[in-house]
């Protein structure tokens, strides 16, 4: 919680006061008393701040639990377009909180606290139930080719009861398990690779597809990609941000797309925010694109409008491995 403060007397009789990153020589008793007073005050402030942070986290958890009981959480949906055709391949479900005092809240204001609390499993159950209901509604509307992705942290994927729960929840709605995708989100070390590999394999054995989210950023490495039998590779938005202006970024993103497809993954380019980026992305074969240029996240009521606008992708459910000529590049 707090850092260690050290002191020692020098041969000349002065007190050498050591704090993290600094060393101070205190030659007089007044200096020494002042220094120790500052340390006590600093330590007290640190303890107080730590206690306040913990209270705030508990307050958030309690408020979230109340919100779950009051049905204040809901989903919005951001579409993915398969290029170059520009047809809808699926949506990503994004969590929102209709807070009675603070208004509509984004996940960034609460999700990290929730993921490390007793409510983590309840949110997973909530997302699974809502996803199954949504896929059933789409199937009834004739949108059976659409996939739906939900975001889960790695620790939730590793739940022993998750595979069985996936089968039961989707079977209750007569949903093809391949239409559900679980996007692995991770901003911290994902843990032992062997455990993660086993968890991914267990989920994929149910027919549910698994995606690595924000690949190329954070803790998702090439060595981990090599070991994980995931179905979808979502390339982090940082790689498209300065395309097509930056030639090096263009080559790097091309290489990542090619790598993913050669490994048999469906590749998604995140962060499409300009027409120029979308035009460039359409030069990629059989890639999904997602971003604000295509559409902001929308409520379920607007799905019909997007289907009318873009049409539905025709897919078999399997990813074709794309072959490239040696020296493949695109402008």
pLDDT digits (tens, 9 = 90+) for 113-145: 888 889 999 999 999 999 999 999 999 999 999
CA distances from 264 to 34, 224, 229, 321 (A): 66, 16, 10, 5
For residues 205 and 182, give the distance between their C-alpha atoms in angstroms, rounded to a whole number: 13
So what's the pLDDT on residue 49?
46
Query: What token pair was written down for 288?
Result: 């999904």
Q: Find, among 136, 125, 127, the residue nearest to 107 by Cα.
A: 127
CB 204 within 8 A of CB 214: no
**Contact yes or no for 96/104 (Cβ under 8 A):** yes
Q: C-alpha angle with apex 289: 285 to 290, nearest 5 degrees?
A: 175
User: What is d(CA 109, CA 88) in angstroms, rounded to the nearest whole number?
Assistant: 30
Q: Is the pTM of this model over 0.85?
A: no
* H/E stretch holding 31: helix 29-69
114 burial via Cβ count (<10 Å: 0-12, 13-18, 19+): buried
Looking at per-residue pLDDT, the higher value among 256 and 17 belongs to 256
**DSSP states along 208-234:** -EEEEEEETSTT--HHHHHH---SEEE
What whole-number distance in Å separates Cα of residue 40 and Cα of residue 134? 56
pLDDT at 289 over 70: yes
For residues 57-81, average pLDDT: 93
Where does the pLDDT of residue 331 fall: very low under 50, low under 70, confident under 90, or very high at 90 and above? very low
What band does 206 get if pLDDT is binned at 50, 70 and 90?
A: very high
At residue 112, the pLDDT reads 87
- SS3 call for 49: helix
Q: CA-to-CA distance for 126 and 124, rounded, in angstroms?
A: 5
Q: Is a pLDDT exceeding 60 seen at residue 28?
A: no
Here the tokens at position 72 are 């204040």
- The neighbouring-strand residues paired with 209 are 181
Instruction: Specify the range with the lowest mean pLDDT, choosing from 106-110, 257-261, 318-322.
Output: 318-322
Mean pLDDT, range 225-234, rounded to an integer: 92
Query: Which is it for strands 180-185 and 103-105: parallel, antiparallel or unpaired?
Result: unpaired
The token pair that represents 76 in the structure block: 């919005």
d(CA 224, CA 309): 38
Q: How confident is the model at residue 253 (pLDDT cuts 50, 70, 90)?
A: very high
pLDDT at site 224: 83
> Six-digit token pair at 240?
């498209």
Give Rg (Cα) of the chain: 25
Where in the sequence of the chain do the CATH 3.20.20.450 domains occur? 72-310
Please identify, in words, the CATH class of the domain defined by 72-310: alpha beta
Interatomic CA distance for residues 285 and 273, integer angstroms:
19
Arithmetic mean of pLDDT over the chain: 83
């Amino acid at each position: 919680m707090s850092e260690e403060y050290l002191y020692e007397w020098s041969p000349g009789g002065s007190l050498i006061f050591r704090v993290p990153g600094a060393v101070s020589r205190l030659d007089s008793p007044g200096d020494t008393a002042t220094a120790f007073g500052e340390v006590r005050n600093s330590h007290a402030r640190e303890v107080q701040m730590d206690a306040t942070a913990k209270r705030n986290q508990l307050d958030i958890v309690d408020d979230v639990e109340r919100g779950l009981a009051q049905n204040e959480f809901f989903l919005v949906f951001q579409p993915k377009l398969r290029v170059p055709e520009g047809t809808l391949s699926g949506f990503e479900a994004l969590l929102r909180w209709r807070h009675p005092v603070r208004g509509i809240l984004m996940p960034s204001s609460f999700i990290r606290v929730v993921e490390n609390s007793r409510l983590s499993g309840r949110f997973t159950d909530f997302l699974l139930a809502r996803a199954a209901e949504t896929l059933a509604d789409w199937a009834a509307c004739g949108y059976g080719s659409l996939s739906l992705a939900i975001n889960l942290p790695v620790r939730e994927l590793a739940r022993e009861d998750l595979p069985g729960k996936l089968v039961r929840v989707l079977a209750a709605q007569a949903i093809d398990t391949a239409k559900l995708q679980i996007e692995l989100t991770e901003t911290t070390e994902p843990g032992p690779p062997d455990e993660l590999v086993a968890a991914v394999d267990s989920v994929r054995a149910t027919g549910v597809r698994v995606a690595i989210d924000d690949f190329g950023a954070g803790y998702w490495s090439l060595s981990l990609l090599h070991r994980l039998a995931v179905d979808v590779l979502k390339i982090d938005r940082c790689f498209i941000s300065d395309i097509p202006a930056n030639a090096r970024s263009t080559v790097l993103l091309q290489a990542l797309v090619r790598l993913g497809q050669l490994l048999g993954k469906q590749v998604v380019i995140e962060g499409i925010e300009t027409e120029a980026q979308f035009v460039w992305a359409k030069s990629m074969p059989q890639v999904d694109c997602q971003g604000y240029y295509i559409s902001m996240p929308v409520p379920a009521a607007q799905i019909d409008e997007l289907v009318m606008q873009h049409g539905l992708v025709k897919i078999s459910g399997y990813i074709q491995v794309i072959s490239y000529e040696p020296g493949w590049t695109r402008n």
